[in-house]
Protein backbone atom coordinates (compact mmCIF):
# COMPACT_ATOMS: atom_id res chain seq x y z
CA UNK A 1 0.00 0.00 0.00
CA UNK A 2 1.21 3.50 -0.86
CA UNK A 3 0.79 6.16 1.82
CA UNK A 4 0.56 9.80 0.81
CA UNK A 5 2.80 12.57 2.18
CA UNK A 6 1.48 15.52 4.18
CA UNK A 7 0.37 18.55 2.12
CA UNK A 8 3.12 20.92 3.31
CA UNK A 9 6.55 20.58 4.94
CA UNK A 10 9.11 22.78 6.65
CA UNK A 11 12.78 22.41 7.51
CA UNK A 12 13.10 20.96 11.00
CA UNK A 13 16.50 22.59 11.47
CA UNK A 14 17.87 19.23 12.60
CA UNK A 15 20.32 17.34 10.39
CA UNK A 16 19.12 13.85 11.27
CA UNK A 17 15.42 14.68 10.84
CA UNK A 18 15.22 16.78 7.68
CA UNK A 19 11.83 18.17 6.72
CA UNK A 20 8.74 17.61 8.85
CA UNK A 21 5.06 18.42 8.27
CA UNK A 22 4.40 22.15 8.54
CA UNK A 23 2.32 21.91 11.73
CA UNK A 24 4.73 19.58 13.62
CA UNK A 25 7.17 20.72 16.30
CA UNK A 26 10.61 19.48 17.22
CA UNK A 27 11.43 19.01 20.89
CA UNK A 28 14.46 18.19 22.98
CA UNK A 29 14.42 15.37 25.53
CA UNK A 30 15.65 17.37 28.52
CA UNK A 31 12.75 19.84 28.28
CA UNK A 32 10.01 17.30 27.66
CA UNK A 33 11.05 14.23 29.58
CA UNK A 34 11.58 12.89 33.06
CA UNK A 35 14.80 10.95 32.42
CA UNK A 36 16.38 8.96 35.22
CA UNK A 37 18.90 6.17 35.55
CA UNK A 38 20.38 4.49 38.57
CA UNK A 39 23.93 5.51 39.37
CA UNK A 40 25.22 2.65 41.47
CA UNK A 41 23.00 1.33 44.21
CA UNK A 42 24.79 1.50 47.52
CA UNK A 43 26.80 -1.60 46.82
CA UNK A 44 23.98 -3.81 45.50
CA UNK A 45 25.36 -7.14 44.29
CA UNK A 46 23.83 -9.95 42.28
CA UNK A 47 23.76 -12.04 45.46
CA UNK A 48 20.91 -9.79 46.63
CA UNK A 49 18.74 -10.70 43.63
CA UNK A 50 15.82 -12.82 44.82
CA UNK A 51 13.49 -15.30 43.14
CA UNK A 52 10.64 -13.72 45.07
CA UNK A 53 10.42 -10.55 47.11
CA UNK A 54 8.93 -7.09 47.48
CA UNK A 55 9.77 -5.38 44.17
CA UNK A 56 10.68 -6.40 40.65
CA UNK A 57 14.22 -5.55 39.56
CA UNK A 58 14.04 -4.98 35.81
CA UNK A 59 17.11 -5.56 33.62
CA UNK A 60 17.57 -5.39 29.86
CA UNK A 61 17.41 -9.19 29.62
CA UNK A 62 13.79 -9.00 30.80
CA UNK A 63 12.70 -7.07 27.68
CA UNK A 64 10.55 -9.18 25.39
CA UNK A 65 9.05 -7.94 22.11
CA UNK A 66 8.26 -4.37 23.18
CA UNK A 67 7.25 -5.18 26.75
CA UNK A 68 8.70 -6.61 29.98
CA UNK A 69 8.47 -10.30 30.74
CA UNK A 70 7.59 -10.02 34.42
CA UNK A 71 8.00 -13.78 34.84
CA UNK A 72 11.73 -13.45 34.11
CA UNK A 73 12.41 -10.61 36.54
CA UNK A 74 14.30 -11.01 39.78
CA UNK A 75 13.19 -9.25 42.95
CA UNK A 76 14.78 -7.06 45.61
CA UNK A 77 13.72 -6.42 49.18
CA UNK A 78 11.67 -3.36 50.17
CA UNK A 79 14.61 -1.47 51.65
CA UNK A 80 16.44 -1.67 48.34
CA UNK A 81 13.35 -0.52 46.44
CA UNK A 82 13.04 2.49 48.74
CA UNK A 83 16.71 3.43 48.22
CA UNK A 84 15.87 5.37 45.06
CA UNK A 85 12.31 6.67 44.55
CA UNK A 86 13.31 8.33 41.27
CA UNK A 87 13.38 5.03 39.38
CA UNK A 88 10.28 3.39 40.78
CA UNK A 89 8.22 2.33 37.79
CA UNK A 90 4.67 3.12 36.73
CA UNK A 91 2.50 1.69 34.00
CA UNK A 92 3.09 3.71 30.83
CA UNK A 93 6.79 4.29 31.45
CA UNK A 94 9.29 3.66 28.65
CA UNK A 95 12.61 1.94 29.33
CA UNK A 96 15.78 1.97 27.22
CA UNK A 97 19.03 0.11 27.83
CA UNK A 98 22.09 2.31 28.20
CA UNK A 99 24.85 -0.30 28.59
CA UNK A 100 25.95 -3.28 26.52
CA UNK A 101 23.52 -3.39 23.60
CA UNK A 102 22.27 0.18 23.83
CA UNK A 103 18.82 1.11 22.60
CA UNK A 104 16.75 -1.95 23.52
CA UNK A 105 13.25 -0.71 24.36
CA UNK A 106 10.31 -1.80 26.48
CA UNK A 107 7.02 -0.26 27.56
CA UNK A 108 5.83 -0.83 31.12
CA UNK A 109 2.41 -2.47 31.10
CA UNK A 110 0.48 -4.85 33.37
CA UNK A 111 2.53 -3.76 36.37
CA UNK A 112 0.72 -4.85 39.54
CA UNK A 113 3.63 -4.89 42.01
CA UNK A 114 6.37 -2.40 42.91
CA UNK A 115 9.22 -2.36 40.38
CA UNK A 116 12.55 -0.60 39.91
CA UNK A 117 15.58 -0.72 37.61
CA UNK A 118 19.12 -1.94 37.63
CA UNK A 119 21.90 0.43 36.60
CA UNK A 120 21.82 -0.48 32.90
CA UNK A 121 18.48 1.16 32.04
CA UNK A 122 17.05 4.66 31.68
CA UNK A 123 13.51 5.44 32.80
CA UNK A 124 11.81 7.69 30.20
CA UNK A 125 8.60 9.41 31.31
CA UNK A 126 7.00 12.21 29.24
CA UNK A 127 5.98 15.46 30.90
CA UNK A 128 3.23 16.59 28.51
CA UNK A 129 4.47 16.84 24.90
CA UNK A 130 4.25 13.23 23.80
CA UNK A 131 3.03 9.74 24.68
CA UNK A 132 5.43 6.87 25.30
CA UNK A 133 3.71 4.67 22.71
CA UNK A 134 4.84 7.18 20.06
CA UNK A 135 8.28 7.85 21.57
CA UNK A 136 8.91 4.09 21.62
CA UNK A 137 8.84 4.16 17.83
CA UNK A 138 10.94 7.33 17.62
CA UNK A 139 13.71 5.69 19.68
CA UNK A 140 13.45 2.59 17.51
CA UNK A 141 13.89 4.57 14.30
CA UNK A 142 16.81 5.82 12.23
CA UNK A 143 16.20 9.27 13.75
CA UNK A 144 17.65 8.05 17.04
CA UNK A 145 20.21 5.72 15.41
CA UNK A 146 21.69 8.59 13.37
CA UNK A 147 21.74 10.82 16.46
CA UNK A 148 23.71 8.13 18.31
CA UNK A 149 26.16 7.80 15.42
CA UNK A 150 26.67 11.56 15.22
CA UNK A 151 27.19 11.59 18.99
CA UNK A 152 29.86 8.85 18.71
CA UNK A 153 27.58 6.28 20.31
CA UNK A 154 27.88 3.65 17.62
CA UNK A 155 28.37 -0.05 18.25
CA UNK A 156 31.96 0.52 19.38
CA UNK A 157 30.76 2.69 22.29
CA UNK A 158 28.74 0.53 24.64
CA UNK A 159 27.18 3.22 26.82
CA UNK A 160 24.43 5.81 26.34
CA UNK A 161 25.29 8.81 28.52
CA UNK A 162 22.48 10.82 30.09
CA UNK A 163 24.03 14.17 29.15
CA UNK A 164 24.02 13.00 25.52
CA UNK A 165 20.58 11.40 25.51
CA UNK A 166 18.92 14.45 27.04
CA UNK A 167 20.04 16.52 24.03
CA UNK A 168 18.26 14.27 21.55
CA UNK A 169 15.94 16.34 19.35
CA UNK A 170 12.92 14.59 17.85
CA UNK A 171 9.80 15.41 15.80
CA UNK A 172 6.56 15.90 17.75
CA UNK A 173 3.14 15.90 16.06
CA UNK A 174 -0.10 16.48 17.95
CA UNK A 175 -1.14 13.88 20.53
CA UNK A 176 -3.95 12.54 18.28
CA UNK A 177 -1.42 12.13 15.46
CA UNK A 178 1.01 10.41 17.82
CA UNK A 179 -1.71 7.92 18.73
CA UNK A 180 -2.46 7.33 15.05
CA UNK A 181 1.23 6.83 14.23
CA UNK A 182 1.72 4.42 17.15
CA UNK A 183 -1.37 2.40 16.22
CA UNK A 184 -0.34 2.35 12.56
CA UNK A 185 3.17 1.12 13.35
CA UNK A 186 1.90 -1.45 15.84
CA UNK A 187 -0.33 -2.91 13.15
CA UNK A 188 1.97 -2.68 10.13
CA UNK A 189 5.15 -3.88 11.87
CA UNK A 190 3.18 -6.80 13.33
CA UNK A 191 2.32 -7.85 9.76
CA UNK A 192 5.98 -7.62 8.74
CA UNK A 193 7.11 -9.46 11.87
CA UNK A 194 4.69 -12.28 11.06
CA UNK A 195 6.24 -12.62 7.59
CA UNK A 196 9.74 -12.60 9.11
CA UNK A 197 8.75 -15.30 11.61
CA UNK A 198 7.41 -17.47 8.77
CA UNK A 199 10.67 -17.13 6.86
CA UNK A 200 12.69 -17.92 9.99
CA UNK A 201 10.59 -21.02 10.58
CA UNK A 202 11.07 -22.05 6.95
CA UNK A 203 14.84 -21.76 7.42
CA UNK A 204 14.63 -23.97 10.52
CA UNK A 205 12.69 -26.61 8.59
CA UNK A 206 15.12 -26.47 5.66
CA UNK A 207 18.10 -26.85 8.00
CA UNK A 208 16.43 -29.85 9.65
CA UNK A 209 15.75 -31.34 6.22
CA UNK A 210 19.37 -30.70 5.19
CA UNK A 211 20.73 -32.38 8.31
CA UNK A 212 18.41 -35.39 7.93
CA UNK A 213 19.38 -35.79 4.27
CA UNK A 214 23.10 -35.85 5.12
CA UNK A 215 22.64 -38.20 8.07
CA UNK A 216 20.59 -40.68 6.07
CA UNK A 217 23.00 -40.68 3.12
CA UNK A 218 26.17 -41.28 5.18
CA UNK A 219 24.64 -43.97 7.41
CA UNK A 220 22.15 -45.74 5.12
CA UNK A 221 23.56 -45.10 1.66
CA UNK A 222 21.57 -44.36 -1.48
CA UNK A 223 20.29 -47.85 -2.32
CA UNK A 224 16.87 -48.30 -0.69
CA UNK A 225 17.09 -52.08 -1.30
CA UNK A 226 20.48 -52.59 0.36
CA UNK A 227 20.60 -55.30 3.03
CA UNK A 228 21.25 -53.83 6.46
CA UNK A 229 23.10 -54.90 9.60
CA UNK A 230 23.38 -53.58 13.15
CA UNK A 231 26.35 -51.24 13.41
CA UNK A 232 26.80 -51.91 17.12
CA UNK A 233 27.05 -48.15 17.65
CA UNK A 234 24.05 -46.61 19.40
CA UNK A 235 24.02 -43.30 17.55
CA UNK A 236 24.49 -44.90 14.12
CA UNK A 237 21.97 -47.75 14.21
CA UNK A 238 21.68 -50.01 11.16
CA UNK A 239 24.03 -49.63 8.19
CA UNK A 240 24.35 -51.34 4.80
CA UNK A 241 25.74 -54.85 5.18
CA UNK A 242 28.70 -54.26 2.82
CA UNK A 243 30.06 -51.26 4.71
CA UNK A 244 33.28 -51.78 6.69
CA UNK A 245 34.00 -50.90 10.31
CA UNK A 246 36.95 -48.56 10.83
CA UNK A 247 38.18 -45.75 13.08
CA UNK A 248 38.83 -42.09 12.33
CA UNK A 249 42.52 -42.37 13.27
CA UNK A 250 43.14 -44.95 10.52
CA UNK A 251 41.80 -42.65 7.81
CA UNK A 252 43.26 -39.23 8.50
CA UNK A 253 46.64 -37.73 9.19
CA UNK A 254 46.72 -35.14 11.97
CA UNK A 255 48.72 -32.15 10.76
CA UNK A 256 51.05 -30.19 13.04
CA UNK A 257 49.63 -27.18 14.87
CA UNK A 258 50.01 -23.74 13.36
CA UNK A 259 51.09 -21.91 16.51
CA UNK A 260 48.60 -19.13 15.68
CA UNK A 261 46.15 -17.75 18.25
CA UNK A 262 42.55 -17.22 17.16
CA UNK A 263 43.12 -13.45 17.45
CA UNK A 264 45.26 -13.55 14.27
CA UNK A 265 42.07 -13.75 12.21
CA UNK A 266 40.90 -10.54 10.51
CA UNK A 267 37.76 -9.47 8.68
CA UNK A 268 39.68 -9.38 5.39
CA UNK A 269 42.64 -11.30 4.02
CA UNK A 270 43.91 -13.51 1.22
CA UNK A 271 43.09 -16.88 2.76
CA UNK A 272 40.41 -18.39 5.02
CA UNK A 273 41.43 -18.55 8.67
CA UNK A 274 39.68 -21.24 10.68
CA UNK A 275 39.15 -21.17 14.44
CA UNK A 276 37.08 -23.34 16.77
CA UNK A 277 34.03 -21.24 15.86
CA UNK A 278 31.23 -22.93 13.94
CA UNK A 279 31.27 -19.98 11.54
CA UNK A 280 34.15 -19.42 9.14
CA UNK A 281 34.29 -15.63 8.93
CA UNK A 282 37.95 -14.78 9.53
CA UNK A 283 40.82 -14.34 7.07
CA UNK A 284 44.60 -14.01 7.04
CA UNK A 285 47.26 -12.96 4.51
CA UNK A 286 49.33 -16.15 4.53
CA UNK A 287 48.54 -19.85 4.19
CA UNK A 288 50.07 -22.56 6.36
CA UNK A 289 48.15 -25.49 4.91
CA UNK A 290 47.30 -26.47 1.35
CA UNK A 291 45.21 -29.50 0.46
CA UNK A 292 41.79 -31.06 0.77
CA UNK A 293 41.40 -31.03 4.55
CA UNK A 294 38.99 -31.07 7.44
CA UNK A 295 39.30 -28.57 10.28
CA UNK A 296 37.94 -29.77 13.61
CA UNK A 297 37.31 -27.21 16.36
CA UNK A 298 39.13 -28.20 19.54
CA UNK A 299 37.81 -25.69 22.07
CA UNK A 300 34.39 -24.68 23.34
CA UNK A 301 32.06 -26.82 21.25
CA UNK A 302 32.35 -29.21 18.33
CA UNK A 303 32.66 -27.78 14.82
CA UNK A 304 33.83 -29.21 11.51
CA UNK A 305 34.81 -27.50 8.25
CA UNK A 306 35.83 -28.76 4.83
CA UNK A 307 38.20 -26.96 2.46
CA UNK A 308 40.11 -27.77 -0.69
CA UNK A 309 42.84 -25.18 -1.15
CA UNK A 310 45.16 -22.88 0.77
CA UNK A 311 44.22 -21.80 4.30
CA UNK A 312 45.41 -21.24 7.85
CA UNK A 313 43.97 -22.40 11.17
CA UNK A 314 44.39 -21.34 14.77
CA UNK A 315 46.02 -23.45 17.44
CA UNK A 316 42.64 -24.55 18.80
CA UNK A 317 41.92 -26.59 15.67
CA UNK A 318 42.82 -30.05 14.45
CA UNK A 319 43.70 -30.09 10.76
CA UNK A 320 42.94 -33.50 9.26
CA UNK A 321 44.35 -34.70 5.94
CA UNK A 322 43.23 -37.91 4.36
CA UNK A 323 45.25 -41.07 4.15
CA UNK A 324 44.40 -44.42 2.55
CA UNK A 325 41.51 -44.31 0.09
CA UNK A 326 38.87 -42.45 2.04
CA UNK A 327 37.06 -39.59 0.34
CA UNK A 328 37.71 -36.79 2.81
CA UNK A 329 34.48 -34.99 2.02
CA UNK A 330 32.53 -38.16 2.83
CA UNK A 331 34.22 -38.13 6.25
CA UNK A 332 33.28 -34.46 6.58
CA UNK A 333 29.61 -35.24 6.05
CA UNK A 334 29.86 -38.23 8.39
CA UNK A 335 31.39 -36.13 11.19
CA UNK A 336 28.92 -33.29 10.49
CA UNK A 337 25.99 -35.66 10.95
CA UNK A 338 27.40 -36.77 14.33
CA UNK A 339 28.56 -33.35 15.55
CA UNK A 340 26.10 -33.24 18.47
CA UNK A 341 27.26 -36.67 19.68
CA UNK A 342 30.88 -35.52 19.49
CA UNK A 343 29.98 -32.35 21.37
CA UNK A 344 28.06 -34.23 24.08
CA UNK A 345 30.47 -37.13 24.59
CA UNK A 346 33.81 -35.92 23.29
CA UNK A 347 34.17 -32.51 24.95
CA UNK A 348 34.93 -32.06 28.63
CA UNK A 349 36.71 -29.78 31.08
CA UNK A 350 36.00 -27.03 33.58
CA UNK A 351 35.37 -23.63 32.01
CA UNK A 352 36.26 -23.83 28.32
CA UNK A 353 35.67 -27.42 27.25
CA UNK A 354 38.11 -29.18 24.92
CA UNK A 355 37.84 -32.13 22.59
CA UNK A 356 39.20 -35.34 24.08
CA UNK A 357 41.44 -36.44 21.25
CA UNK A 358 41.42 -40.13 22.20
CA UNK A 359 37.64 -40.15 21.98
CA UNK A 360 37.69 -38.50 18.57
CA UNK A 361 40.53 -40.54 17.07
CA UNK A 362 38.94 -43.80 18.20
CA UNK A 363 35.44 -43.03 17.02
CA UNK A 364 33.99 -45.94 15.07
CA UNK A 365 32.97 -45.14 11.52
CA UNK A 366 31.48 -47.32 8.80
CA UNK A 367 32.73 -46.81 5.28
CA UNK A 368 31.36 -47.96 1.94
CA UNK A 369 33.61 -48.60 -1.05
CA UNK A 370 35.38 -45.53 -2.43
CA UNK A 371 33.13 -45.42 -5.49
CA UNK A 372 30.05 -45.44 -3.27
CA UNK A 373 31.54 -42.69 -1.11
CA UNK A 374 31.96 -40.57 -4.24
CA UNK A 375 28.36 -41.20 -5.24
CA UNK A 376 27.08 -40.26 -1.80
CA UNK A 377 29.17 -37.06 -1.73
CA UNK A 378 27.92 -36.10 -5.19
CA UNK A 379 24.32 -36.69 -4.12
CA UNK A 380 24.69 -34.68 -0.90
CA UNK A 381 26.45 -31.82 -2.70
CA UNK A 382 23.70 -31.65 -5.30
CA UNK A 383 20.75 -31.88 -2.92
CA UNK A 384 22.16 -29.58 -0.23
CA UNK A 385 22.91 -26.97 -2.90
CA UNK A 386 19.19 -26.92 -3.71
CA UNK A 387 18.32 -26.53 -0.03
CA UNK A 388 21.01 -23.88 0.50
CA UNK A 389 19.55 -21.89 -2.40
CA UNK A 390 16.15 -21.90 -0.70
CA UNK A 391 17.72 -20.92 2.63
CA UNK A 392 19.59 -18.03 1.01
CA UNK A 393 16.36 -16.90 -0.66
CA UNK A 394 14.66 -16.82 2.76
CA UNK A 395 17.57 -14.89 4.26
CA UNK A 396 17.25 -12.31 1.46
CA UNK A 397 13.52 -12.05 2.10
CA UNK A 398 14.14 -11.46 5.81
CA UNK A 399 16.72 -8.78 5.02
CA UNK A 400 14.30 -6.98 2.70
CA UNK A 401 11.46 -7.24 5.21
CA UNK A 402 13.64 -5.78 7.97
CA UNK A 403 14.73 -2.94 5.70
CA UNK A 404 11.10 -2.29 4.82
CA UNK A 405 10.16 -2.31 8.52
CA UNK A 406 12.95 0.12 9.37
CA UNK A 407 12.07 2.49 6.53
CA UNK A 408 8.37 2.43 7.44
CA UNK A 409 9.08 3.39 11.06
CA UNK A 410 11.35 6.28 10.09
CA UNK A 411 8.91 7.54 7.46
CA UNK A 412 6.02 7.53 9.95
CA UNK A 413 7.79 9.23 12.88
CA UNK A 414 9.27 11.96 10.68
CA UNK A 415 6.02 12.65 8.82
CA UNK A 416 7.27 11.54 5.42
CA UNK A 417 3.99 9.64 5.15
CA UNK A 418 0.58 10.71 6.45
CA UNK A 419 -0.96 7.83 8.42
CA UNK A 420 -3.61 9.78 10.33
CA UNK A 421 -6.44 7.90 8.64
CA UNK A 422 -4.52 4.63 8.32
CA UNK A 423 -3.74 4.65 12.05
CA UNK A 424 -7.31 5.21 13.14
Return the closest-CA partner of residue 311 out of 335, 280, 330, 284.
284
Q: What is the pTM of this model?
A: 0.85
| Other CB atoms within 10 Å distance of the CB of residue 421 | 10
pLDDT for res 233 = 78
Domain with CATH 3.90.220.20 in the chain: 25-172, 244-367
pLDDT for res 272 = 95
Q: What is the CATH number of domain 244-367?
A: 3.90.220.20
Regions of the chain short of the pLDDT cut 50: none
pLDDT for res 423 = 57
pLDDT for res 274 = 93
| Other CB atoms within 10 Å distance of the CB of residue 116 | 23
pLDDT for res 157 = 52
Give per-residue pLDDT as tens, 209-224: 999 999 999 999 999 9
CB of 331 closer than 8 Å to CB of 347: no
pLDDT for res 41 = 59
Q: What is the CATH number of domain 25-172?
A: 3.90.220.20
DSSP, collapsed to helix, strand or coil, labels residue 62 as helix
Give per-residue pLDDT as tens, 142-196: 999 888 888 765 555 568 888 999 999 999 999 999 999 999 999 999 999 999 9
Amino acid sequence: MKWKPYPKYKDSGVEWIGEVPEHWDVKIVKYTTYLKGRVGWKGLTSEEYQEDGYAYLVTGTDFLSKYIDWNKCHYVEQARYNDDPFIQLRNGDLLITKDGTIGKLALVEDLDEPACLNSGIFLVRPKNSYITEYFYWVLGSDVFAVFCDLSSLGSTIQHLYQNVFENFVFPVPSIPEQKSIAAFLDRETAKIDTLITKQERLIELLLERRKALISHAVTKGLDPNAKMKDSGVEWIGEIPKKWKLDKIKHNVLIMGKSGLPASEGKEEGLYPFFTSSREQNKFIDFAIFEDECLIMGNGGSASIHYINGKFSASNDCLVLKRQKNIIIKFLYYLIFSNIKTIDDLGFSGIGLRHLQKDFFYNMSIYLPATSEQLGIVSYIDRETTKIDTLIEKSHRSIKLLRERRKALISAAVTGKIDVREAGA
